């Protein structure tokens, strides 16, 4: 497994504890899973890896992006969820607040 995109970079230390969106890909760059962290991106990615053993086994690459707010993260997560329909995402991304609307399916 290759985590080179997920290693802390020096600049990342300024962003610890921030929300973000992450994406897990296989060796052939197929998107396996997309996720969001509302308050700590690195912690959430670590949790996902320890909870989802099969996903971890198949993951070769993890990309991530910080966002300014949980809502911005939700919108980005929804776009990617609908675009890639990842095998390991069993459900639609969850909302933190009911007033949020998915930009794709409008739910
Ligand atoms: Zn949707």
In a structure prediction context, what are the per-residue pLDDT tens digits for the chain, which is 107 residues long? 444 455 545 555 556 688 999 999 998 999 999 999 999 888 898 899 899 999 999 988 888 888 999 999 999 999 999 999 999 999 999 999 999 999 999 98
Evaluate the CA torsion angle 37, 68, 8, 55 in order and state its sign.
positive
Q: Which two tokens stand for residue 67?
A: 């966002």
Domain count, the chain: 1
Q: Which residues form the domain of 39?
A: 10-84
Q: Looking at the domain assignment, is residue 67 inside a domain? A: yes
Say how many Å lie between the CA of residue 31 and the centre of ligand 1. 17
Say how many Å lie between the CA of residue 91 and the centre of ligand 1. 10
Looking at residue 15, what is its pLDDT? 61
Looking at residue 64, what is its pLDDT? 87
Residue 100's Cβ-count burial label (10 Å; 0-12, 13-18, 19+) is middle
Say how many Å lie between the CA of residue 95 and the centre of ligand 1. 11
Say how many Å lie between the CA of residue 81 and the centre of ligand 1. 8
Q: Looking at the domain assignment, is residue 37 inside a domain? A: yes
Q: What is the CATH number for 22?
A: 3.40.1440.10
Q: Give the position of tokens 């990842």.
A: 86
Evaluate whether 49 touches 6 at the Cβ level (below 8 Å). Answer: no
């Amino acid at each position: 497994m290759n985590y080179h995109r997920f290693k802390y970079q020096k600049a990342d230390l300024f962003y610890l504890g921030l929300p973000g969106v992450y994406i897990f890909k296989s060796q052939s760059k197929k998107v396996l899973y997309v996720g969001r962290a509302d308050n700590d991106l690195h912690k959430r990615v670590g949790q996902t890896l320890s909870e989802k053993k099969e996903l971890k086994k198949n993951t070769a690459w993890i990309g991530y992006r910080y966002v300014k707010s949980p809502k911005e993260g939700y919108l980005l997560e929804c776009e990617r969820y609908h675009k890639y329909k990842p095998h390991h995402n069993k459900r639609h991304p969850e909302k933190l607040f009911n007033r949020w609307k998915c930009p794709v399916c409008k739910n």
